Structure 1
Amino acid sequence: MTNSNPIGVFDSGIGGTSIWSAIHDLLPNEKTIYLADSKNAPYGQKSKEEIVALSKKNVDLLLEMNCKLIVVACNTATTNAIQELRASYDIPFIGIEPAIKPAANNSKTEVIGILATKGTLNSELFNKTAEMFQNTKIIEQVGYGLVQLIEDGNLYSPEMTTLLESYLHPMIEANIDYLVLGCSHYPYLIPQIKKILPEHIQIIDSGEAVARQTQNILREKVGFSDALKSEPEFYTNSDPKVLESILEYKYPAVKKDF
């Protein structure tokens, strides 16, 4: 079964490109369309109703572009809206949520840290998952300000370093041995996070797992593209230069009102 329609990917901004990159690396023949809803970032401070409405707006646009599968490359949108999306649209959705399970199952200290948005940590889906690991102490930290600094192009600013140190030092003192990154923006902070964390603390994000699940859904339900190669498309409703910079200027981004 072949299907050359594109895979749609959306996030509250540029952070979901970390998920897109993992999908593109695993499935280079698949055409991909990425939406960065940077105008409305961060989703993590919004109500559930707002998050659902924004997610549906993004989905509608991707469906206009004939996407065969949609990846919700945003932890906050997944944990707050994916059930509504699956109930409202007849298309496969793949979500992203904090990788608590591998961290909890492999922790030797039985203490893990989770850095995520307020919207993710307050969601019903996150709390249901966390409740499955009663023997593991989970140190939760809202990453206030991190997404906005990334969206503003201030990835390596002194303010970013100060915020990360304030969030991570209490986790280190609590004896975590795994740090789960619960926001698709946060993998871009890994180089700075590694400078703060002791070497024995493992960092987990969800990119590779989402890419493998995308491959599975294509194989089982949707069909692979028969193209030899396909150029991705990137759209943003904010400054395209910020999106292009996170992509290391390998691909152009188009400004679009949505």
Structure 2
Amino acid sequence: MTRNPPSHPAIGSASLFLWHGRALVVGPGIDSIPHAHFAAQITVALERPFRVRLDAGSPWISTQAAIFAPNQMHQLDCGGAMLAHLFVDSPQCRQAISSVCDAGYCQGPEFSEVMAALQTARQSRLDIDAAERAAKRWLDCAVPQAVEPAALDPRISAALAWIGDHPGETVTGESLAVQAHLSESRFTHLFRQQTGLPLSRYLLWSRLLWAVEAVAGGEDLTAAAHIAGFADLAHMSRTFRGTFGVVPSELRKMTIAFKREGQ
């Protein structure tokens, strides 16, 4: 599903593709202060190299690609270059990803189809399904040891459907476990095993999806925060920045596409 902000961005502006546990951002790079966030970040240049360092005291490194582990401090100096960032939030990636300031995965021939898709996204002409395939292939190239979760158990599928049908509502492991006819401990273990995310993180990504959908539909950020079940705009801003390293006001500058479970 794709939604555009009221003022459609021009070709070459930023695009956001969002799923549970993953996000792909393509657009002009934004210079950052040293920061860290919960999701792993995989970045590649779409034209000229950018600079990166892991903290304010480290030397700058010029590179075409970089990988940042979850909670790893890092800083980008983009110089206006077009970049693509893949954010991944999963136990598998947290175990597999190490920070690499000068990553070489983009030099392999298998990355060429990913780069072609990213260049299409750069022109705001990539649909959500093609973006999802490109993101999976990108992760395979950059972190081949990251294992995808198995096919979903029907009880977990039913829980995901219930969550998706009740945006902004308070959800607990206990209430979902009752619906699945499982103990809470068994349900939360199975949920993490099946989805690749702890229930709390999945619910956080659900709120981010609902907020993005609300903004894409024309709501202001405060209304979007309440629709998505955040306590207030400050709570949503902290969560958004903690996941992606940018504030949610950046959404107003993006073409947005998102996908819920089962779509």
Task: Flag whether TM exceeds 0.5 (same fold).
Answer: no
* Coarse TM-score class (shorter-chain normalised): under 0.3
Calculate the TM-score normalised by the size of structure 2: 0.26
Calculate the TM-score normalised by the size of structure 1: 0.27
Q: Which has the higher helix share?
A: 1
